[in-house]
Amino acid sequence: MGCNNNNNRRNSNENNQCRENSRVINHNHEFLSSTDYEKDAEGVEHNHRIAGVTGPPIVRGKSHVHNIAVFTDTFDDHFHKICDTTGPALYLPDGKHIHLLKGTTDVADENNHDHDYFFTTLIQAPSNVPEDRKC
């Protein structure tokens, strides 16, 4: 599935890794959400599920972003494509981070409608728990 993102991407290790405390760390994020409800061409109100894993980090200024390219689930014989880029890292008190994503799906061919979405990614490396925080 191709996406026409107009992101400035270079083929260097810097664009495939993020910076945390002067170290370069490669990672991605899981995400799951639902679209907003919309009516299709027949007036049926519905929404779609979204789930996937981001691409690797792309350095942007002092932060980084991730691309996503995913299809929604199918409802009444149609689905939608999402090609988007997350916002910059939003750091949590424990030093891990998430990203915000807000946008609109493509228009489903025969159904002539799209859906808005607004969600955050899950934290990076959720099972990587420091020794001093393990139960």
User: Do residues 123 and 98 lie in contact, with contact meaning Cβ atoms separated by under 8 Å?
Assistant: yes
Q: Would residue 6 count as lying in a domain?
A: no
Q: Tokens 């779609």, residue?
A: 48
Q: Would residue 82 count as lying in a domain?
A: yes
Q: Would residue 83 count as lying in a domain?
A: yes
pLDDT along the chain (135 residues), means of 10: 49 40 71 94 91 93 93 92 96 91 88 91 73 61
Q: Would residue 4 count as lying in a domain?
A: no
d(CA 4, CA 134): 43
Tokens describing residue 60: 């942007």
Q: Would residue 80 count as lying in a domain?
A: yes
| Containing structural domain, residue 77 | 13-123
User: Which residues, in sequence order, are CB contacts of 44 under 8 Å at separation 6+?
Assistant: 76
Of 82, 100, 105, 81, nearest to 90 (Cα)?
100
Q: Would residue 28 count as lying in a domain?
A: yes
In total, the chain counts a number of residues equal to 135
pLDDT at 6: 45
Contacts 24+ apart (CB under 8 A), 38-41: 38/113, 38/114, 38/115, 39/113, 40/76, 40/78, 40/108, 40/111, 40/112, 40/113, 41/110, 41/111, 41/112, 41/113
User: Do residues 17 and 24 lie in contact, with contact meaning Cβ atoms separated by under 8 Å?
Assistant: yes
Q: What's the domain count of the chain?
A: 1
pLDDT at 123: 87
The model's pTM is: 0.76
